[in-house]
Amino acid sequence: MPPRKWQIGDLLRVSADYLRKKGIENPRLNAEVLLAHQLRLERIRLYLNFDRPLNNREVSGFRSLIRRRIESEPLQYITGTQEFWSLGFSVDPSVLIPRPETEIAVEQVVKLAKGTEREGTNYLKILDLGTGCGAISVALATELPEAVIWATDISEAALSVARRNAVTHQVLERIRFLEGDLWEPLSNEDVPFDMVVSNPPYVTSGEFHALAPEVRDHEPRLALDGGQDGMYYLKKIVRGAHDYIRSGGWLILEMAPVHTEKILKMMEKMGHYQKMARIRDYSRSYRVVIAQTL
């Protein structure tokens, strides 16, 4: 029998059925994104070209993408991109795929920046701890032309992805990338900052094994694991931040909803913060804590 001649429409239908049988959520969407990626087309173009015949190279390339997806590899690592703050970010397995919740932290920084008085300078100094692919830093640099950003990460590979994203979005000259453990790379830097923002690892070690295989087996554990109670980095940041933020500046932290109350209590006890508040995410869960330094 001669090999089957595929067209876009029937290949999409058959592969979406296959992904569904293999337990992949949103199988049709996955099939469309992967075929569009293979053919280097926008997804909408698939619909305008349903009858377009595919050659063997295109079909076999697409098959290998489908195989990777069945092995639970996230779509974003296969296509190499994720949208965040309406900007396209390059991602690879050395970085966490930026999540929509993190836009809440960016929104808060933007809002607070607009209402913050500057002391002596006309630029705004922001520190992004654990920048990953640079999502927060790059989004802030594009949104706040007066911002100068220090972006740190313990992972050299993540920083090189972040740098690439800063180049893509033409903000490299306003972001200083530093490698190292939390505050350590800032010892020779010009502190304090007007704002410190972070989305640190905050999954508890116990929860880690129950994560979806896409996350557990493919995203970097270094970006997820927040220790036994998930608060290892959050506590370290809250304890140290007031030394790095000028008086009247702001700390903006993303965390799991269950952490927010504990972190607010910790801040209250420390006596270095005021105007503490927690902000809800798109699913109405508390996700971000903000606090002003005294």
Min separation Cβ 82 and ligand SAM, Å: 9
Q: Is 131 in the site for ligand SAM (CB under 6 A)?
A: yes
CB nearer to ligand SAM: give 153 or 214: 153
For every residue of 93-144, which 3-state class applies, written as one string?
Answer: CCCCCCCCCHHHHHHHHHHHHHCCCCCCCCCEEEEEECCCCCHHHHHHHHHC
Nearer to ligand SAM, 27 or 226 (CB): 226
Answer yes or no whether residue 70 interacts with ligand SAM by CB under 6 A.
no
Least distance in angstroms from the C-beta of 178 to ligand SAM: 9
Q: With respect to ligand SAM, which residue has the nearer C-beta, 36 or 203?
A: 203
| Residue whose entry in the numeric block shows the structure tokens 């970006």 | 223
Q: Name the DSSP class of 184.
A: G
Phi, psi of 288 (to 5 degrees): -130, 135
* Cis-peptide into 192, omega within 30 deg: yes
Long-range contacts of residues 43-51, Cβ cutoff 8 Å, at least 24 apart = 46/8, 46/12, 49/8, 50/7, 50/8, 50/9, 51/7, 51/8, 51/9
Residues 179-198: x/- map of binding to ligand SAM (CB under 6 A)?
--xx----------------
Task: Report how far residue 3's alpha carbon sits from residue 177's, in angstroms, rounded to the nearest whole number.
Answer: 52
Stretch that binds ligand SAM, among 73-81, 116-124, 148-156, 205-213 (CB under 6 A): 148-156
Q: Which stretch binds ligand SAM (CB under 6 A): 33-41, 48-56, 127-135, 255-263?
A: 127-135
**Judged by CB, which is closer to ligand SAM: 122, or 188?**
188
Residues from 240 through 279 that contact ligand SAM (CB under 6 A): none
Q: Is 226 in the site for ligand SAM (CB under 6 A)?
A: no
DSSP 51-89: T-B--HHHHHHHHHHHHHHHTT--HHHHHTEEEETTEEE
Listing DSSP states for 232-243 in one string gives HHHHHHHHHHTT
By the rule CB under 6 A, 98 interacts with ligand SAM: yes
Q: How far is the CB of 54 from ligand SAM (least distance, A)?
A: 35
Binding site for ligand SAM (CB under 6 A): 95-96, 98, 102, 130-132, 135-136, 152-155, 158, 181-182, 199-201, 222-223
